[in-house]
Amino acid sequence: MSGLLDQMRGLSAAEEFFALLRVPYDPAVLRVSRLHIMRRMGEYLSHDSLAAMTDDAAREACKATLARAYEDFVHSSPLEQRVFKVLRDAVSPKQAAFVPLSALTEEC
């Protein structure tokens, strides 16, 4: 299985992952969501144990995972998916600052 991982470690562009794993894609979708797709793929793969798989099984698992991550962004936007923390935090309720009454009456 290390052969596939070594190949994937050497890749630097999302298009290279799609080519290696032979997953078809629309360049317009990839142009907008490349980082989000790759991050989602990483999230999905973190739940799998690729090291225990044969090269062929690992390749099929990675291919299916990349296709699944890509499909997430074909049907919705990065803003809707909120893969990155900064996007999740953008919609989380803001905590109001709390100042206890006793802090207002204490002498300096």
Does the pTM of the predicted model rise above 0.95? Answer: no
Give the domain ranges of the chain. 2-105
Contact 39, 84 (CB under 8 A): yes
- What pLDDT is attached to residue 66? 94
Mean pLDDT within 8-23: 92
Q: How far apart are CA 96 and CA 75, in angstroms?
A: 35
The rounded distance, in Å, linking the Cα atoms of 60 and 57 is 5
Alpha-carbon distance of 49 to 58, in angstroms, equals 9
pLDDT per residue over 61-76, tens digit each?
Answer: 999 999 999 998 888 7
pLDDT at 34 over 60: yes
Q: Between these two residues, 8 and 91, which has the higher pLDDT value? A: 8
Q: What is the pLDDT at residue 81?
A: 65
Give kind and range of the element (H or E) at residue 42: helix 27-45
- What does the pLDDT read at residue 105? 77
Do residues 34 and 82 make contact, with C-beta atoms less than 8 angstroms apart? no
Closest by CA position to 50, among listed 34, 38, 64, 37 = 64
